[in-house]
C-alpha cells in the first residue's frame, strides 16, 4: 500500500571555499552562490536528504514508515519531490503497439532547452507534468556532464517516469557513455558546480550516486538498448559484431547494468565486457559516421544485414552530433544528437501515425522524407 508523507526542512548554514571555473557548454551559472540537489541516500527505512541552498549544505534524516511513495518539499526549491522506499524494478526492453514516440538525446545538463522541447511539443504541460498520454518518451543517454543543470534534468525525468505509468505511457531513460563514465568515477567532463557541491558536502561526488542512493539505484536499473515497435534505440550504435557473436538485446542490457561497478580489470580481461564498454560497444560506437576517428565506417550492405538480424526497420542513435536530423544508410540509421549540449539549439524526433518528424522547440514539426 502506498503512503504519502509531506515534510519541510529547516536550513543550517556552513561556509566553504570555491573551485576555479572551467569553460563549459551552454549558459554559465555563477559558482558564487549555488543551489543543487536534493540527493537521497537510503539507509534501510531511513532517507538522508542532502542538498545545497545558496552555498549552504543541508542534511536531514527522515524515517519512512512502511513501503510506498514519499513526497517532500524543500525551502528554496519550487517543486515537490517524490521518491519511493521500494527499489526500482527493471522494466522490459521490448514494446509493441506503441502509438507515438518522442525521442531526445545528449541533453548534457541543458535543462532549459530540454524543457523547451518537451513543452513545445506537448510532452509536458505548463506545470512540467506529463501530457503525452500513452505515448513513449525515449531519452538516448548523456543527460550527464558538461552543463550545470544535470540534477534538474534527473528530477524531471524521475517525475515524468512515474507520471507516464499512470497514463499507460512510458519513459525510457537509456544509459549513454557519460552516465557510465560518471557512475564509474570518471569525472572528466563534470561541471564545476557539482565539484563544488561535493566539496560543500565534504563527500566524493560519486557517493551521491552510489548503489544505495535514489539516483544511483535508479540509474543502475536502466537499459542501454530498447526496441519499440520495429525501431531500435541506443545511445552510440550497434556494431555488426553483435550479429556475428549472437548477442541479444536483453543480454547486452543485463551485462552492462550488472557491471557498471565492476573493476577496470574485470572489464579488461573479459572479451565480452571489453567489447560492450569499449569504443565499439553500444555506449560509444560511431561506426555509422564517416567523419570520426574511433571506428571505421560500416559498409552499407553490412548495415542492411545488421538491421535484418536485429529485426528492425530503423536504428535511432545519439552520441555523434549532427547539424539536423537526417537519416542515411538507406534510412536505416536516424541520428538525433543535434547539439542540445550547446544550450540554444537542437531538435527531437517524433514518430506518430507511421511517420517520422523533426520536432522543433517551438512545436513546429517537419516530416522527414525517406528516400
107 part of a folded domain: yes
175 part of a folded domain: yes
132 part of a folded domain: yes
> What is the model's pLDDT at position 48?
95
> What is the model's pLDDT at position 28?
54
Q: Tell me whether strands 100-104 and 355-359 are parallel, antiparallel or unpaired.
A: unpaired
- DSSP assignment letter at 146: S
254 part of a folded domain: yes
> What is the model's pLDDT at position 261?
97
For residue 334, the domain's CATH number is 3.60.21.10
322 part of a folded domain: yes
- How far apart CA 355 and CA 231 sit, in angstroms, is 12
Assess contact for 293 and 268: CB atoms under 8 A.
no
Ordered mean pLDDT values, 10 residues apiece, the chain (371 residues): 41 29 46 94 90 96 77 90 90 97 98 98 98 98 97 98 96 98 97 96 96 97 98 96 82 96 97 95 94 83 91 96 92 96 95 97 93 66
Q: For the chain, how many residues are written?
A: 371
Q: Give the number of domains in the chain.
A: 1
72 part of a folded domain: no
> What is the model's pLDDT at position 296?
86
**What's the CA angle centered on 128, arms 125 and 131, to 5 degrees?**
40
Nearest one of 324, 82, 103 to 229, comparing CA atoms? 103
Peptide bond into 38 cis (omega under 30): yes
Peptide bond into 73 cis (omega under 30): no
21 part of a folded domain: no
Phi, then psi, of 69 in degrees rounded to 5: -80, 140
Side-chain half-sphere CA neighbours of 243 within 13 A: 14
> What is the model's pLDDT at position 243?
76
75 part of a folded domain: no
> Which residues, other chains included, contact 44 with Cβ-Cβ below 8 Å and sequence gap of 6+?
none
Show the domain range for 150: 94-367
Amino acid at each position: 500500500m502506498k503512503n504519502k508523507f509531506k515534510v519541510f526542512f529547516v536550513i543550517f548554514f556552513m561556509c566553504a571555499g570555491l573551485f576555479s571555473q572551467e569553460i563549459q557548454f551552454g549558459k554559465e551559472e555563477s559558482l558564487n552562490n549555488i543551489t543543487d540537489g536534493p540527493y537521497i541516500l537510503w539507509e534501510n527505512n531511513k532517507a538522508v536528504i542532502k542538498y545545497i541552498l545558496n552555498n549552504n549544505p543541508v542534511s536531514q534524516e527522515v524515517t519512512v514508515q512502511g513501503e510506498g511513495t514519499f513526497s517532500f518539499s524543500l525551502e528554496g526549491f519550487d517543486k515537490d519531490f517524490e521518491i519511493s522506499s521500494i527499489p526500482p524494478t527493471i522494466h522490459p526492453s521490448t514494446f509493441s503497439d506503441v502509438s507515438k514516440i518522442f525521442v531526445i538525446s545528449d541533453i548534457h545538463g541543458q535543462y532549459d532547452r530540454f524543457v523547451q522541447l518537451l513543452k513545445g511539443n506537448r510532452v509536458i504541460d505548463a506545470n512540467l507534468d506529463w501530457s503525452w498520454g500513452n505515448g513513449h518518451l525515449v531519452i538516448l543517454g548523456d543527460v550527464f556532464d558538461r552543463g550545470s543543470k544535470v540534477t534538474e534534468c534527473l528530477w524531471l525525468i524521475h517525475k515524468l517516469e512515474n507520471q507516464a505509468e499512470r497514463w499507460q505511457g512510458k519513459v525510457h531513460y537509456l544509459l549513454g557513455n557519460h552516465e557510465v563514465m560518471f557512475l564509474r568515477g570518471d569525472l572528466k567532463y563534470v561541471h564545476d558546480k557539482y565539484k563544488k557541491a561535493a566539496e560543500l558536502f565534504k563527500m566524493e561526488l560519486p557517493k551521491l550516486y552510489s548503489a544505495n542512493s535514489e539516483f544511483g539505484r535508479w540509474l543502475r536499473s536502466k537499459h542501454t538498448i530498447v526496441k519499440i515497435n520495429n525501431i531500435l534505440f541506443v545511445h552510440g550504435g550497434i556494431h555488426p559484431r553483435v550479429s556475428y557473436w549472437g548477442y541479444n538485446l536483453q543480454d547486452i542490457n543485463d551485462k552492462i547494468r550488472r557491471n557498471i561497478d565492476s573493476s577496470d580489470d574485470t572489464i579488461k580481461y573479459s572479451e565480452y565486457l571489453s567489447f560492450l564498454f569499449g569504443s565499439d560497444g553500444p555506449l560509444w560506437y560511431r561506426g555509422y559516421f564517416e567523419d570520426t576517428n574511433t571506428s571505421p565506417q560500416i559498409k552499407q550492405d553490412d548495415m542492411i544485414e545488421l538491421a535484418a538480424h536485429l529485426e528492425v526497420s530503423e536504428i535511432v542513435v545519439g552520441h555523434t552530433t549532427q547539424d539536423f536530423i537526417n537519416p542515411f544508410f538507406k534510412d536505416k540509421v536516424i541520428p538525433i544528437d543535434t547539439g542540445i549540449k550547446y544550450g540554444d539549439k537542437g531538435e527531437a524526433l517524433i514518430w506518430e501515425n507511421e511517420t517520422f518528424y523533426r520536432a522543433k522547440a517551438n512545436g513546429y514539426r517537419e516530416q522527414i522524407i525517406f528516400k
